[in-house]
Structure 1
Amino acid sequence: MWLYFHFPLSFREVEELMLQRGCIVSYETISRWCLKFGQPYANALRRRCPRPGDKWHLDEVFITINGEQKYLWRAVDQDSNVLDILVQNQRKAAARRFFRRLLKGIGAAPRVIVTDKLRSYGAAHREVMPSVEHRSHKGLNNRAENSHQPTRQRERAMKGFRSVGGAQRFLAAFSGISPHFRPRRHRRTAPDHRTEMTVRFVIRDQITGATAPPTAA
């Protein structure tokens, strides 16, 4: 699953990489594994993360599903941790639903929410989080917009998604798994990055129950 959710690979490409490593498994089996275990894996990784910050950045973009444009909503905190995603057929009333989903999932309201100028954010804020400060400005929301980039890369590799439900399942797992293996590299030396990745692989092995390979001499 790590190969599929971390790199822009198809199930068949993962099958070939596994074969090169001496593991014979069909791409159909890999697909079933990702469908069955992807979300529990993502949830377990999220539980290892610190409590979400109190400043939430929300943004929405178009994604292609079966040749049609749909809406992908995303929320991240001030540290760029993905809080949740939601795929919707229509934009109307989706902001309200996403706000409620965030509150239910996280269990606490933020201190501040930051959005672009989309009018439905204002209506959802007044109805769902009236006591929370709302900052609405295009230039303030780069953090949420940048968080869409890995999804865009994966969308291109997959040539779009096939259904709203399939997109929601994949992106919900992807948004929990992929960031774990993409630590910030800004001002971090190569040895420091390798150390950080080693720690993250240990966490992965603890969650999955995998046996870590021996360290090369």
Structure 2
Amino acid sequence: MTIDFKGSHCPRSVILYAVFFYIRYGVSYRDLEEIMAERGVEIDHATLNRWVVKFSPLIAEKAQARKRSTAKSWRMVETYIKVRGKWTYLYRAVDRDGQTLDFMLSERRGTAAARRFFKQAVGTNGIPDRIAIDKSGANLAGLQSLNVILKFTRAGRTINIVQSKYLNNIVEQDHRFIKRITRPSLGFKSFHSAAATLAGIEAAHMIRKGQVGQIGISPFKQFAALAE
């Protein structure tokens, strides 16, 4: 379904350009306001923020639905994102080739959050053959809990669990791009805006890695196509 831009006071192309520039290049809203003004578009930073929060999750959902198939061997570990001056937890998973699988921001870290993330990732990508996690007991318990559910609902098929810090280097490296983009924001002001913005950043990262769209098409055009 095409994303609805009705009610916006600017053309769809302007909104998409502003949102893409913010989630891809790591600028502050004040900087983006100045960049847009240089291009002849007078938009205040508060409006830019509303655009990013509103449209990023919608485009990220499209990116997830359209991304290319991923491998059945996963790597998962969480990282930290500051919201309202406090640390929250961004759960992320990639496959053995570094392709993005799924992500979830959580205010709490623990077995319940890990189980919720694994269920979400499996629901989006299917059941993998194995998942490599770190030495976290909460992540292990969350995955074991999911295996119990799978055993009784998916013809007995379960996920092989591997605990290895070395195998997770690939996802740890992948965190760096997300952190580089979020750093200029100086911390998110609300959990909702953080989750929405991170969804957009993850979508832009998927485009950057070639998971979405056609080879040879500019990243912005691939991003704009997701709104159709």
Letter of the structure 1 residue corresponding to residue 146 of structure 2: V
RCO higher in 1 or 2 (8 Å CA, sep ≥ 6)? 2
The alignment status of 1:177 with 2:204, answered yes or no, reads yes
The alignment status of 1:164 with 2:182, answered yes or no, reads no
Structure 2 unmatched runs, 5+ = 1-18, 149-157
Letter of the structure 2 residue corresponding to residue 150 of structure 1: F
Give the equivalent residue in structure 2 for 1:96: 115
**C-alpha distance after superposition, 1:18-46 (max 9, x if no partner):** 22122233322222221221112222233
CA-CA distance at 1:165 after TM superposition: 2.7
SS at match of 1:167: helix
The alignment status of 1:116 with 2:143, answered yes or no, reads no
Matched positions, count:
198
Structure 1 unmatched runs, 5+ = 185-194, 210-217
The alignment status of 1:134 with 2:161, answered yes or no, reads yes
Structure 1 CA distance for aligned equivalents of residues 122 and 189 of structure 2: 29
- For normalisation by structure 1, the TM-score amounts to 0.80
Given the superposition, is the C-alpha separation of residues 104 and 155 from structure 1 closer, same or farther in structure 2, using an over 3 Å criterion?
same
Give the equivalent residue in structure 1 for 2:178: 151
What does 1:6-25 correspond to in 2, within 5 Å? 6-25=24-43
8 Å contact kept, 2:60–2:203: yes
- For normalisation by structure 2, the TM-score amounts to 0.77
Give the equivalent residue in structure 1 for 2:84: 66
Deviates more, 1:18-27 or 1:92-101: 18-27
Structure 2 CA distance for aligned equivalents of residues 61 and 207 of structure 1: 27
Letter of the structure 1 residue corresponding to residue 41 of structure 2: C
CA root-mean-square deviation: 2.3
**C-alpha distance after superposition, 1:44-92 (max 9, x if no partner):** 2333321232111100122222222222211112222222222222222
8 Å contact kept, 1:113–1:133: yes
Identity of aligned residues (%): 27
